[in-house]
Structure formats: structure tokens, C-alpha cells
Amino acid sequence: MLADLEQLIKLQQIEDEAAVARARIEELPAMVETLGARLEASEGELALTQQKLDDSRSARRELEKNLAAVQTRLDRFREQLMLVKTNKEYQAMQGEMSAAEGEIRRLEDEILERMIEGDDLTAEVATASAALAAEKKAVAEERAALEREQDTLERRLGQIVDERARHVGTLAQEMLSLFETVAERRNGSVAVRARDGRCSGCQVRLRPQLFNDVRTNSHLIQCESCQRVLYFEPEAAAPEGGTAA
Ligand SMILES: [Zn+2]
């Protein structure tokens, strides 16, 4: 292969690897943010369940207070019952007492319901609490993995920058200028493969003679449409050892 061509391809590989590393580094903060949001959701779930349990408990305390008040009233009726003089008064008192007893049964039923609800909610709080603990652990691990990845990428990027500098030092000035000119116009894509008679940079079909020249890799040939530098790389061997022209 022509040495200039080989050097341009090498420079392209270096730049591509750097671009991939930079793009990945740029993605990382959003991924870390997603982890934070996951943790917040889990914390919110626990807080909500805890709030339901607190509300249920205070509702139960309120019912118990009411129950105590009705029981006091009922006790008072019982005492007063001894003191009534007439049958009419007696019946009125009985009516009050039976209303109070009805109220007590209703309150006891409601308290029982709240107790069952409290047990369920206590279990839910335990579940949410365990889920949060698991999520905290998972998030911490994933966060650490992302930080390690970032360190690795930044270290690698530093090496790539050095490699690029060393490599550029071996390039002829006009090759470097060519690379930079095309890179600026084509978003960093300079040396591209010619495949199936096409420029893989802009997909334009190459003249057959031009494609044949590219296949030799012995000249510096630019795509007539996009000016990218073309090179040829045989396809990976077909399974049946085909007869590609
Ligand atoms: Zn092209």
C-alpha cells in the first residue's frame, strides 16, 4: 500500500477512536443523572408508603379517642338509669344507651379495619425500604462503573492525543493539509473504503476505472464527489470462499 495512503488511514483510525471515546464521555453525565432519578423515585415510593401508614395510625388514634368518649357517655347513662323516675324517662335513656352501643360497635369495627390496614401498610413500608436499600446498592455500583469507565476513557483519550501527535509528526505537510481540509468539510471523515464500486463516504458510484485504481491502493485517489480519500480493503472471506470479482 502507498505509504501516504497508509498514514492517512492510520490518522483516520486515530481520529475515529478519539471521536468514539469523546462521544461516550459526553453520554456519561446523562446516565449518572438517570441513576439519581432512579434513586429519587425509590425514595419517593418509601416516603409515600410511610405517609400512608402515618395517616392510617393517626386516623386510628382519632377513632380510639372517639370510642373512649362514647364509652364514657354510655357509663354515665348507666349511672343515670338508676336515678330515673318515670317509665318514659327510662325508655328515653334506654334509647340513648342503645344508640351509644351501636356507635361503639361501629367504632370498634372501624378500628379493627384500621389495624388490619396498619399491618398491611407496615409490610408495604418494609418492602419499600428493602427496595430502596437494594436500589441504593445497585445505583452505587452502576455509578462506580460509570466513573471507572470515564477514567478509562479519559486515560485512553490522553494516549490517543499523544499517538496522534506522534503520528502527525511523521506525515508530509501536504498530507496533513489534505486531511485537515477534507476533515473540516466532511465532519472528520477523510479516509473511507470504496465498496461495491461506491465511495462509502457519500455512496456515489465510482467510475469503473477509478474503482479499479482504488483497488490497487497504490495511488492517492479522492472521491470526485466528496473529495474523501478512497482505499480498498477486501471483504472478510465469504463462508463458501466465493468468487467476488
Ligand atoms: Zn464520496
For the record, the C-alpha cell of 49 comes out as 408508603
CA of 192 relative to ligand 1 center, distance in Å: 8
How many Å lie between the centroid of ligand 1 and the Cα of residue 236? Answer: 22
pLDDT at 244: 46
Cα distance between residue 158 and residue 164, in whole Å: 10
For the stretch 183-220, pLDDT in tens is 999 999 999 999 999 999 999 999 999 999 999 999 99
Centre of ligand 1 to C-alpha 6, Å, is: 18
Residue 166: the pLDDT is 97
Question: In whole angstroms, how far apart are CA 91 and each of 71, 80, 94, 102, 122?
Answer: 19, 12, 5, 16, 46
CA of 21 to the centre of ligand 1 (A): 25
Spacing, Cα 243 to ligand 1 middle (Å): 26
> Which pLDDT value is given to residue 240?
55
Q: How far apart are CA 229 and CA 210, in angstroms?
A: 12
- With beta carbons less than 8 A apart as the criterion, state whether 71 and 48 touch: no
Ligand 1 center–CA 234 separation, angstroms:
19
CATH number for 3-171 (one of 3.30.70.20, 1.10.287.1490, 3.30.70.580, 1.10.1740.10): it is: 1.10.287.1490
CA of 160 to the centre of ligand 1 (A): 27
Domain(s) of CATH 1.10.287.1490: residues in the chain: 3-171
Centre of ligand 1 from the C-alpha of residue 196, in Å: 13
Ion ligand 1 nearby residues (CB, 5 A): 199, 201-202, 223, 225-226
Residue ranges in the chain modelled with pLDDT below 50: 241-245
Question: Whole-model pTM?
Answer: 0.73
pLDDT of residue 66: 98
pLDDT for 108 equals 98
Separation of CA 194 and ligand 1 centre (Å): 9
pLDDT in the model for residue 236: 73
Q: How far is the CA of 17 from the centre of ligand 1 (A)?
A: 21
The pLDDT value given to residue 234: 87
Phi (first) and psi of residue 28, to 5 degrees: -60, -45
pLDDT at 238: 54
186 CA to centre of ligand 1 in angstroms: 10
What are 65's three cell numbers?
Answer: 379517642
Cα 173 to ligand 1 centroid, rounded to whole Å: 23
Buried b or exposed e, range 37-59, using 16+ CB within 10 angstroms = eebeebeebbeebeebbeebbeb
pLDDT on residue 239 = 57
CA distance 86 to 119: 49
